[in-house]
Amino acid sequence: MPLSDIKLSFADGILFSRMEKVFDRKVPAAAVFSGPYYFLEQMGFRKVIDTTFMMAAMLNNEPDPEDVRKYYRALRKAQRDIDLRPELYTHYYKKEFPARFIPMMDTRRWGPGERIVFEPYTKEVFEESFRWIAERRIFAEGDMGPGKYEDSVISLAA
């Protein structure tokens, strides 16, 4: 798709708000994942394009690195449990959704949602991603930060 045809909006980044706008047909498409993706699929909406994404964890107040390691070990264990028996956990999606959608939800066929990939975020991937975003002018000139891997990433390998 040519860059001139890409029209991104970051004005409403809340996942459920984007899902509601698609559901109410206020926008033609939106990036959704996890529960909102499964719900829209259940309601007859279809995927236009597949995608992946990475999220970062931001740490402040200088937490004890061992506490952070414990947290991620617990996340890994929880993900393993969900992978083994996702049907035991999909009903918890109902605790996240806006109330108006809960009567319509049938989570029995829903998947486990987004997954955490426990791999280091390498300098090469950082630089390639930074370059890709810059080439597409996703952020205004000067709003992407300095692009220095060493100042942006910390690894707490377990």
Q: Which residue has the higher pLDDT, 139 or 131?
A: 131
Cα–Cα distance measured from residue 14 to residue 132, given in angstroms and rounded to the nearest whole number: 24
Do the beta carbons of residue 86 and residue 112 sit within 8 Å? Answer: yes
DSSP 93: G
pLDDT of residue 156: 67
Structure tokens at 136: 């597409």
For 83-133, what is each residue's pLDDT tens digit? 999 999 999 999 999 999 999 999 999 999 988 888 888 899 999 999 988
Binned at pLDDT 50, 70 and 90, residue 11 comes out as: low
Q: In percent, how much of the chain has pLDDT > 90?
A: 51
What are the helix and strand counts (H, E) for the chain?
5, 0
Q: Establish how many alpha carbons lie within 13 A of residue 80's alpha carbon, considering only the half-sphere containing its beta carbon.
A: 7
| Mean pLDDT along residues 52-73 | 86
Contacts of 39 (CB under 8 A, 6+ apart): 19, 93, 97, 101, 104, 105, 110
Res 78 pLDDT > 60? yes
